[in-house]
Amino acid sequence: MRLIVFFGAAALCFFAFSGRRAPVLLTYSPTPLARLAADPTGDMCTWWGDGGPEVLADPQADASTFAEGQLPPLRYVIDPYPTFNGIVLDTRGNRVLMSDENRKSVLTYERSAGGNSSAVTSPMWQIIGPQTEVGFIAGVEIDPERREIYAVNNDVEDRIAVFDYDANGNLKPKRHLYVPHQSWGISLNGSRGEMVISVQQLSMLAVYRRDSNGMDAPLRIVKGSLTNLADPHGVRWDAGHHEIIVASHGNSTEIAPYTAYDAQTSPAKENGDENILGGQFVPPSINVFDEAASGDAKPVRTIQGPNTKLNWPMGIDLDGTHDEIAVANNGDNSVLVFRRTAQGNIAPVRMIRGAKTGISSPMGVAIDADHNELWVANYGDHTALIFARDATGDAAPKRIIRNAPAGTPTGGFGNPYAVAYDSKRDQLLVPN
Amino acid sequence: MHGIAYDATHDEVVVPVALADAVLVFRGGADGSEAPVRVIQGTKTKMIRPHTVTVDEQNNEIIVGDSSGRSILVFDRNANGNVPPKRIIQGPRTGLLFIVGVAVDPIHDRLVAASSASVPGRKTGLFIFGRTDQGDVAPRAVIAGPKTGIVRPWQLASDPQQGKIFVAAINNESHPPYELEKPRTDLPHDVQLPSPWNSGALGFIGVWDINDDGDVPPRAIIRGDNTFLVHPGGVAIDPKDGEVFATDSIRNGLFSFLAPSLFSERSRPQSTLENGTTRSAR
């Protein structure tokens, strides 16, 4: 029960903001969009003063007219800067790419970028804009051979957008592939010409041809009670050992069709209560599958249990040179490193964690064995951190990439679809 | 998570967890990795994909909208563990399909569900039931149709004192290419589904009366460029201070609107700005 409630709590990530602050008088920019991008206070909790657009319409006293109430917000919470999520390295091409969930973009930096400055690090390129089909983005992957970028949309958009290596700005993807709702991680295997994605709500892996597009179906899926998959996120294809490594949060269920396009009603009533399997919270895990696994396949190895310290494991990467795997341990503000062949309830061989590390809600991790570095993409701070590959404990990063000036807070929002008002504390609660 | 509710009477926060068929109840002010005080989860709950939630503080009930079950499940507020719901609204007569919002009005004895349908013969809108209705029952009223402006509703908020329902009409186009793990066979290979940037009708926050029925426009609306709202999915209210709150996933942000006239049955407070002037909706 303790585990259940612990992971129940871990599954909840809502943000509370004070409802009352002293107003700040702002100057309006010419357009609403420009206003959103410009925040002269440098503070995400921005208040509107007087002198702006007026209320154009009253609430209607009766239902006979449909008038628009162009009411400007009294205040808003918006983060105008990117927030890093997925990360992938191209050590030979000397670049690193990170997905940005907040601004809905993909940023490319030089591999040697960053330092100790408090200023924003300029990216080489940024894919962003209405043409890109990049939305609530999560995983990002590259194909150095074909010089392609793969961006996985996690929610709403249900597609992978593929771009040329040097894509920049507001441009259409060269192709897209529709994928199941809540796809998150992605990893390519060039030698097999395949890619694997993780799917959260289906607790599933799906393997596609690398050049799949449109409505192409997966070649095979891994899904079922034997898989031990439960809300999977980070995934990495270990081509050298013919294995697929995947990190799971531990939320487990078997859902039925649910969308507005599925005509069925009341599956439990029509088909009997046996269709309701009931959800559960299970300990987070790292599962390793044979790369050809299909169906309800058992993992060849599992890392799971309290000694592992896994807590909302997100992105995962493989260090083939040193035979290690690293995982961004989001719920514990840490990075865990395990032996590649580790299994069971086993402690990590190293853990980077502590105030000096600057790790804050990490989403992605990448290992650069060539340059002996380990990268962390922070979601809770506007940074990517570069550590020595074998850093351990409360170690400071070697250098930092910033997507906002140092000290800029993050909103923490991730596709916010609901809100509640806590009248006792005068706070707003927003679940992600 | 796509739902959340605050119970002011008992100072608790209630959230559905769709990916684990659970409803979690936290103490108000919970912070960090704090454990919930109660967990509703298990086969007896009849939850499949709990999407949205609200609390009836007056009648001590938690109301859950389940998008997979096409059902509204009512639990005792103190329910804990693998327990059955007190009542279920479910079945073809209900008209419910993709249930994304629920609200309760204990004064007018009504239960409201926001439901979307993109299949022939089904309605998208607000389905209003008696508060204690159960089984395969028809709604007492349905607010749906072109005059409503609702293309796709999402979260609801209730102001029982006024008999008003606040609706986040997210209105974005979302055509899922898969039915669970299977690509939809009715879509051509080269289909161009809406992207987040090509997002259909502009969303808004709309206000209806609990006694409204049919294809009727909202009695008040917050919409347009000046609001910054594109596709608002979340809505909450603070009647005491005359504020409406909205979240917008396109903006990835949270907005507050001062609109005391939307709470006209109450006193109309005015906010005092730093420059000494006052402001209220006009």
The mean pLDDT value for B99-103 works out to 98
Give the DSSP H/E element, type plus range, for residue A390: none
Distance CA B26, CA B37 (A): 5
Chain B residue with minimum CA distance to A131: B197
Looking at residue A341, its pLDDT comes to 98
Instruction: Determine the residue type at A205.
Output: L
Architecture per CATH, B5-176+194-279: 6 Propeller (2.120)
Residues of chain A with Cβ-Cβ distance to B259 below 8 Å are: 59, 69, 71
Is A280 within 8 Å of B154 when comparing Cβ atoms? no
- Compare CB distances from B247 to A130, A253, A418 and report the shortest one's residue: A418
Looking at residue A156, its pLDDT comes to 82
- For chain B, say whether A320 makes contact (Cβ under 8 Å): no
| Residue-wise pLDDT tens digits, B105-118 | 999 999 999 999 99
Distance CA B16, CA A11 (A): 10
The DSSP code sequence of A283-295 is: --EEEEEETT--B
Residues of chain B with Cβ-Cβ distance to A204 below 8 Å are: 181
Looking at residue A16, its pLDDT comes to 43
- Write the DSSP symbol of residue A356: G
* Domain boundaries defined on chain A: 2-78, 84-402
Looking at residue A276, its pLDDT comes to 61
The mean pLDDT value for B199-220 works out to 93
- What's the CATH code, domain A84-402? 2.130.10.10
Chain B interface, best mutation among A104, A127, A258, by max B CB count within 10 A = A258
Q: Are A188 and A237 in contact (CB under 8 A)?
A: yes
| Residue-wise pLDDT tens digits, A55-71 | 333 333 333 333 457 88
Is A417 within 8 Å of B2 when comparing Cβ atoms? yes
- Write the DSSP symbol of residue B59: T
* Domain boundaries defined on chain B: 5-176+194-279
Chain A residue with minimum CA distance to B95: A265
pLDDT band at B247 (very low <50, low <70, confident <90, very high): very high
Looking at residue A20, its pLDDT comes to 37
- Compare CB distances from B36 to A8, A77, A153 and report the shortest one's residue: A8
Looking at residue B265, its pLDDT comes to 61
- Compare CB distances from A76 to B178, B223, B256 and report the shortest one's residue: B256
Distance CA B12, CA B1 (A): 17
| Residues 55-94 in A contacting B (C-alpha not used; CB under 8 Å) | 55-56, 58-79
Residue where the block lists tokens 């995962």: A316
Residue where the block lists tokens 């002198």: A51
Is B238 within 8 Å of A421 when comparing Cβ atoms? yes
Looking at residue A39, its pLDDT comes to 38
| Residues 149-188 in A contacting B (C-alpha not used; CB under 8 Å) | 153, 156-159, 178-181
Q: Percent of chain B at pLDDT above 90?
A: 84
Is B274 within 8 Å of A24 when comparing Cβ atoms? yes
Looking at residue A51, its pLDDT comes to 28
Is A419 within 8 Å of B277 when comparing Cβ atoms? no
| Residue-wise pLDDT tens digits, B166-182 | 999 999 888 899 999 99
Classify residue B53 as exposed, middle or buried by CB count within 10 Å of its CB (0-12, 13-18, 19+): buried
Distance CA A216, CA B149 (A): 35
Chain B residue with minimum CA distance to A206: B181
Residue ranges for chain A with pLDDT beneath 50: 1-67, 269-272
Is B69 within 8 Å of A131 when comparing Cβ atoms? no
Question: Is 0.90 exceeded by the ipTM?
Answer: yes
Chain B interface, best mutation among A79, A170, A253, by max B CB count within 10 A = A253
The mean pLDDT value for B242-257 works out to 94
For the whole model, what pTM was predicted? 0.89
Is A411 within 8 Å of B252 when comparing Cβ atoms? yes
Is B236 within 8 Å of A416 when comparing Cβ atoms? no
Chain A residue with minimum CA distance to B83: A278
Beta strands in B18-91 (DSSP E): 22-27, 38-41, 50-56, 61-66, 71-76, 87-90
Looking at residue B82, its pLDDT comes to 97
Is B220 within 8 Å of A9 when comparing Cβ atoms? no
Size of interface A-B (CB pairs under 8 A): 417
Is B15 within 8 Å of A14 when comparing Cβ atoms? yes
Q: Listing from the earlier edge strand, what are the strands of the sheet with A75-77?
A: A45-47, A75-77, B253-258, B243-248, B232-238
Chain A interface, best mutation among B2, B19, B43, by max A CB count within 10 A = B19
Is A424 within 8 Å of B71 when comparing Cβ atoms? no
Residues of chain A with Cβ-Cβ distance to B251 below 8 Å are: 36, 76, 78
**What are the residues whose beta carbons fall under 8 Å from the beta carbon of B83, sequence distance 6 or more?**
B40, B42, B44, B45, B75, B76
Distance CA A291, CA A335 (A): 25
- For chain B, say whether A325 makes contact (Cβ under 8 Å): no
**What are the residues whose beta carbons fall under 8 Å from the beta carbon of B216, sequence distance 6 or more?**
A63, B143, B145, B147, B148, B208
Is B119 within 8 Å of A261 when comparing Cβ atoms? yes
Looking at residue A129, its pLDDT comes to 92
Q: Are A10 and A233 in contact (CB under 8 A)?
A: no
The alpha helices in A183-332, defined as continuous H runs, are 267-271
Q: Would you say residue B84 has pLDDT above 80?
A: yes
Distance CA A234, CA A384 (A): 17
- Compare CB distances from A258 to B68, B172, B209 and report the shortest one's residue: B68
The mean pLDDT value for B3-7 works out to 98
Looking at residue B196, its pLDDT comes to 65
